[in-house]
Structure 1
Amino acid sequence: MNLPMSWDEWADHDGVALAARVAKGELTAAELAAQAAAGIAKVDPALSAVVEIFEDAVTDPGTDGTNLDGPFAGLPFLMKDLGPTMKGRLQEMGSLYMRGNRATADTFMTTKMRGAGLNLIGRTTTPEFGVCSSAENPAVYVTRNPWNTDYTTCGSSAGSAAMVAAGAVPIAHATDGGGSIRIPAGVNGNIGLKVSRGVFSLSPLLSDLSGLVSIQGCQSRTVRDTAAFVDACRGPAPGEFMPFWSSPEPYTRMIMRDPGRLKIALSYKWGDYQATPQIAAELQKVGRFLEGLGHHVDYALPDLDYREAFAAQTTCYISNFAIVIGNMLAARGLMQPPADLIEPVNVRIWEAGRHMSFADRARMQAVFNTTSRGFGAFFEDWDIILTPITALPTPKVGTTEYLTISDNPSVLDWFGNLWRNFAFTPLANLCGIPAISLPLATHEHGLPLGIQAIGKQANDGLLLQLAAQIERAIGGKWNAGEKPGVHVTNG
C-alpha cells in the first residue's frame, strides 16, 4: 500500500500538525485515515487495543457527518468503547453481556467531536463497564503495554492509551471516572487531562449530577492537541442541570504563554495510601525541575479526612455501577446478572449497591462537599498539587487482584486494594476539579510514570499552561525522548 508519509514522519506529527497539512491541501483526510488504519494493523497484533475499525469511515472520512472543515480537518480518531455512542455502531463496553449492543443515536459529545472534524474510525478496548484498572479478561481481550508487553496498560481507557503511545494515532478518546484518563496516560507515557466538571457534556444519557464523577476527554502526545480537543468539544447541551465553565480565551492561545510563578505542593501520601520510596524520589526530582523553572515548590497537603473521602468515593462507585448494571439487566428483562456473561466483581458490585438508599447517597454527598471545600481552601494558598499518578509500579498482565475477574469475595476489600495503587487520582473526580498526567518520570522497571498536576475548579487552562511550559523546557521530548518497544516506527 502506498502511504502518504513515512512512519517516522507520521510519528513526528501531532494531530494539530496533521490537520494543518490537510487544510493546506498537502494531504487529504482519506490519506490520513489510510495511514492510521495501516498503523493500527502494524502494532495492534502485539497490543490487542482495538476492538473494531470502521472501514467505511476509513474509506470516506466524511461519512457519519464528520465536518471536514472543522479544526481537526478529518483527523482519524479512535473511540473508547464506553461512554459516547455512535449511531449504528456497536458499543460493547468490554463485556460479553453487551455483545451485539448497537447504538441508535449519536450522543451530544459524539456530535461535538464530529463537528470538530474528528473522523471516528474505530473502537478501543476497555475493562467491563470501565470498572477496573486494566482491559484484561482473557474471555474478551488482554490489552498490553507498548513499552513492555508483559505489563498492563492499566485503564479504563486502555486501548486508546496504547494506540496513542504506539504512534498509530496522535490523539484518541478517553473517559475518566476516577483516573481512567490519567492512569493509562501515566503508565503508557501519554498526556491525559481530566477537565473540571462542567466542561464536557454527558448529554443525553446522564446529567452532570447523576454522572457526578464521570468526565470525557482524550489521550494525546502534545499539550496543544489536548488544548485543541478541549477548545473544540467543550460546552453544554441544551437543558444541562448545572452551569458550564467557559474560558476567557481558547486554551490553544493560552498555552503559548508561560504561567506566572506558581506555588506547587508536592504530595506522595494521602491518608492511608502512599507511594513507594522510588516513586516518591521521582516526584521530588520533578519538583526540583519545576523549581528550576522559577516556581515555588514544597511539601503540603489539603486538610481532609482521607479515610472518609475514599469511603464516600467507594460508595459512589458501588451505587453508580450497580445502577448501570441494573439498567442493562432491565433492558433485557433479567432480574439478576448472568454469571457466565458478567465478571464476578461486577456481579458483587451490583449485589452490594442495588439496594443502596437515598440516605447512603446523601451521606456520601455530604463527604463530597466537605472534601471539595477542603481542596478549595487549600487552593486559596496553593496553585497546584503535584503527585505521582500511581503509588506502586505498573502491574504485570495477569495480576488479577485489581481486575473485575478477581475472586475476592469482598467488594470493599477489592476497592481498598485498588486505592493502594490508585489513590492519587479519584478525589479530583469526587471534587470536580481538573487534573493532568504528564510523562515526566520512570518506574523502577523502566516503564513510564506519569506525574499528576491537580488544580482548582475551572483552572484547567493553568494546568495546560504549566504543561506547555514544561513541554517547551524539555524541547518537546516527553519520556526523555524515548519511544516504546511496540511503535509504528519499529520494524
Structure 2
Amino acid sequence: MNKAMSWTELERYDAVGLAELIEKGDVTANEVAKQSHEAIRALDDHVSSVVEVFDDVVENPSKDGTNLEGSFKGVPYLMKDLGPTLAGRLQEMGSKLMQGNRAEADSFLTSKIRSAGLNIIGRTTTPEYGLCSSAENPELYVTRNPWNQDYTSCGSSAGSSVAVAAGMVPLAHASDGGGSIRIPAGVNGIIGMKSSRGVLSVSPNGSDLMGVVSTQGCVSRTIRDSAMFYDECRGGAPGEFMPYWSPEQSYSSLIAHDPKPLRIAVSHEWGDYKADPHIVSELTRTAEFLESLGHHVEWQTPKVDFYKAYQAQTDCYIMNFSQVIAGLMEQKGLKEPPSDLIEPMCIRVWEEGIDATYSKRAAMQAQFNDVSRQVGMFLEEWDIILTPTMAKPTPAISTKEYMTTSEEPNVYDWFQNLWSIFSFTPIANVTGIPGISLPMATLENGLPLGMHFLTRQANDGLLLQLGAQIERALDGAWNGGNKPEVHVSKL
C-alpha cells in the first residue's frame, strides 16, 4: 500500500489535526481511511478490537452520508457494536444470540456523527449487551490490552478504547452505563468522558430517567478531539423526555484557556470500598500535581449514602438489562434465554429482573433522587471530585469473577464484586453528572491507570478545560510519553 504518510506521522496527528491536513489538501479522506484500515489489518490480530471494517466507505468516505465538509472532514471513526445503529449494517452487541442482526436505519446520534464529518469505517467489540467488564467470549473474540496482551482492555467500550490507544483511529464511539467509557479509557491510557444528561441523544430509544443512565460519547487521545466531538454531536432529537442544553461557549474555544483555581476534593474510600495502596499513592501524586497548577486540593469524601448509590445502580442494571434481553429474545421468538446463546450472568440478570414490580422501580428512583441531591450539595462546596478511575489493578485476561461468564450464583453478589473494582464511576450515572478519565498515572506493572474527575451537572466544559490545562502542563505527553506494545508507531 502507498501510504499517505508514515506511521509515525499518522500517530502524531489527532482527529482535529487530520481534518486540518484534509482541508489543506495534503491528504484525502480516502487516503486516511485506507491507512487506518491498513493499521487495523496489521495490529488487530494481536488485540481483537475491531469486529468489522466497512470496505465500501473506506473506498468512498461519503457513501453512507458522511459530510466531508463537516468539521472532521472525513476522518476515520469506529462505532461500538452497541447503541446507535447504522443503516444496513450489522449490530451484534457482543452476543451469539444477535449474530446476523442488521439495523434498518441510522440512529439520531449516528446522523450527527456523520454530519460532523466523521467517516464510520467499522464497528468495535463489546461485552454481551455491554453488561460486564471485559469483551471476552472466546467463541466471538477476546479483546486484549495493547499495553500488555495478557491483560484485559476492560469495557464495555472495549474495542473502541483499544483501537484508539493503538493508533488505528484517533477517535471512536463509546458509551457509559456505569463507567463503560471511563474505565476502558483508564486501563488503555486514553481520554474518556461521560457527558451529563441532556448532551447526546439516545433517540429513537427511550430518553426518560432509566434510558439516560447510560450515556453516549467518545474516546480520544487529545482533549481537543473530545471537545470538538461534543460540540458537533450534542443535541436532542424531536420528542425528547427532557431538555437538551447548550453551553454559552463552545468547548473547543473554552479549552484554550486555563480554568480559575479550583476547589478539588480527593478521595479513595467510598462506603465499603477503597483503592489499593499503590493506586492511592498515584492518586496522591496527582493531587500534588494539581496543587502545583494552582488548585486548592483537600482529602474530602463526598457526603453521600454510598450504600444507596450502589444499591440503586445494581437494581437499575438488573431491571433495565432484563428488559433489554427480553426485547431481543422477543425479536427472535424466544420466551426463555437459551443457555448456548446468552452468557450465564445475563441469564441470571434476566431471571432476577424480568418480573420486578413498579414498587421496586419506584424505590430505586427514590434512591437515585436521594443520591443525586447529596452529590449536588457536595458539589456546591467543591468544583471537582478526584478519585482513581479504578480501585484495583487491571485484571488479567480470563478473570471470570468480573465477567458475565462468571459462575457466581447470586447476581447481587456479582454486582457487589464489580463495585469493589469499579467503585468510583457509577455515581455519575446515578446522578447524571459528567466524569472524565485522564491517562496520567501508572500501575506497578507499567499498565496505565486513569485518574477520574467529576463535576456538577451541565459543567462538562470544566472537565475538558481542566483536562486541557493538564495536557498543556504535560506537553501533551499523556502516559509519560510512553506507547503501547501494540501501536502504529511500531509498524
| Fold match by TM threshold 0.5 | yes
Q: Deviations over 1:55-111 (max 9, x none)?
A: 001000001111000000001000000000000000000000000000000000000
Q: Is the CA contact 2:210–2:316 (under 8 Å) kept in the aligned structure 1?
A: no
Give the Å deviation of 1:331.
1.4
Any idea what SS the aligned residue of 2:260 has? coil
Inter-partner Cα distance in structure 1 for 2:28 and 2:377:
50
Give the Å deviation of 1:249.
1.1
Inter-partner Cα distance in structure 1 for 2:167 and 2:64:
25
Give the Å deviation of 1:489.
1.2
Q: Does 1:410 align with 2:410?
A: yes
Partner of 1:44: 44
Q: Is the CA contact 1:254–1:465 (under 8 Å) kept in the aligned structure 2?
A: yes
Give the Å deviation of 1:212.
3.0
Inter-partner Cα distance in structure 2 for 1:16 and 1:206:
32
Q: Is the CA contact 1:57–1:63 (under 8 Å) kept in the aligned structure 2?
A: yes
TM-score, normalised on structure 1? 0.99
Partner of 1:192: 192
Inter-partner Cα distance in structure 2 for 1:348 and 1:418:
15
1:191-210 → structure 2 map (5 Å cutoff): 191-210=191-210
Q: Deviations over 1:13-57 (max 9, x none)?
A: 000000011111111100010010011111101001100000001
Q: Is the CA contact 1:212–1:430 (under 8 Å) kept in the aligned structure 2?
A: no
The aligned amino acid for 1:304 is V
Q: What runs of 5+ residues in structure 1 fail to find an aligned partner?
A: none
Partner of 1:218: 218
Q: Is the CA contact 1:348–1:411 (under 8 Å) kept in the aligned structure 2?
A: yes
The aligned amino acid for 2:379 is F
The aligned amino acid for 1:429 is N
Give the Å deviation of 1:355.
0.5
Inter-partner Cα distance in structure 1 for 2:344 and 2:414:
12
The aligned amino acid for 2:211 is G
Give the Å deviation of 1:206.
2.1
Any idea what SS the aligned residue of 1:65 has? coil
Partner of 1:369: 369
The aligned amino acid for 1:307 is Y
Q: Does 1:273 align with 2:273?
A: yes
Inter-partner Cα distance in structure 2 for 1:172 and 1:312:
30
The aligned amino acid for 1:25 is G
Give the Å deviation of 1:259.
0.2
1:206-355 → structure 2 map (5 Å cutoff): 206-355=206-355
Inter-partner Cα distance in structure 2 for 1:184 and 1:167:
15
Partner of 1:60: 60
Partner of 1:438: 438
Partner of 1:146: 146
Q: Is the CA contact 1:197–1:208 (under 8 Å) kept in the aligned structure 2?
A: no
Q: Is the CA contact 1:86–1:103 (under 8 Å) kept in the aligned structure 2?
A: yes
Give the Å deviation of 1:208.
3.8
Partner of 2:169: 169
Give the Å deviation of 1:444.
1.3
1:25-174 → structure 2 map (5 Å cutoff): 25-174=25-174
Any idea what SS the aligned residue of 2:377 has? helix
Any idea what SS the aligned residue of 2:91 has? coil
Inter-partner Cα distance in structure 2 for 1:5 and 1:282:
37
Inter-partner Cα distance in structure 1 for 2:130 and 2:341:
15
Q: Deviations over 1:371-393 (max 9, x none)?
A: 00011100111000000000000
Inter-partner Cα distance in structure 2 for 1:113 and 1:288:
38
Partner of 1:392: 392
Any idea what SS the aligned residue of 2:87 has? coil
Q: Does 1:21 align with 2:5?
A: no
Inter-partner Cα distance in structure 1 for 2:208 and 2:30:
36
Any idea what SS the aligned residue of 1:172 has? strand
Partner of 2:360: 360
Inter-partner Cα distance in structure 2 for 1:154 and 1:258:
32
Any idea what SS the aligned residue of 1:63 has? coil
Give the total of aligned pairs.
491
Which consecutive aligned stretches of 4+ in structure 1 deviate over 2 angstroms post-superposition?
A: none
Q: Deviations over 1:287-338 (max 9, x none)?
A: 0000000000001122111112101110000000000000011112211101
Inter-partner Cα distance in structure 2 for 1:104 and 1:2:
36
Q: Is the CA contact 1:172–1:220 (under 8 Å) kept in the aligned structure 2?
A: yes
Q: Is the CA contact 2:202–2:212 (under 8 Å) kept in the aligned structure 1?
A: no
Q: Is the CA contact 2:166–2:488 (under 8 Å) kept in the aligned structure 1?
A: yes
Q: Is the CA contact 1:198–1:208 (under 8 Å) kept in the aligned structure 2?
A: no
Inter-partner Cα distance in structure 2 for 1:307 and 1:209:
20
CA distance 1:225–1:208, change in 2 (3 Å): farther
Q: Is the CA contact 1:202–1:208 (under 8 Å) kept in the aligned structure 2?
A: no
1:425-464 → structure 2 map (5 Å cutoff): 425-464=425-464
Any idea what SS the aligned residue of 1:303 has? coil
Inter-partner Cα distance in structure 2 for 1:173 and 1:109:
10
Give the Å deviation of 1:210.
3.4
The aligned amino acid for 1:446 is G
Q: Is the CA contact 2:313–2:426 (under 8 Å) kept in the aligned structure 1?
A: yes
Give the Å deviation of 1:255.
0.2
- What is the percent sequence identity of the aligned residues? 60
Give the Å deviation of 1:207.
1.4
TM-score, normalised on structure 2? 0.99
The aligned amino acid for 1:61 is P
Inter-partner Cα distance in structure 2 for 1:270 and 1:324:
30
Q: Is the CA contact 1:387–1:451 (under 8 Å) kept in the aligned structure 2?
A: yes
Any idea what SS the aligned residue of 1:227 has? helix
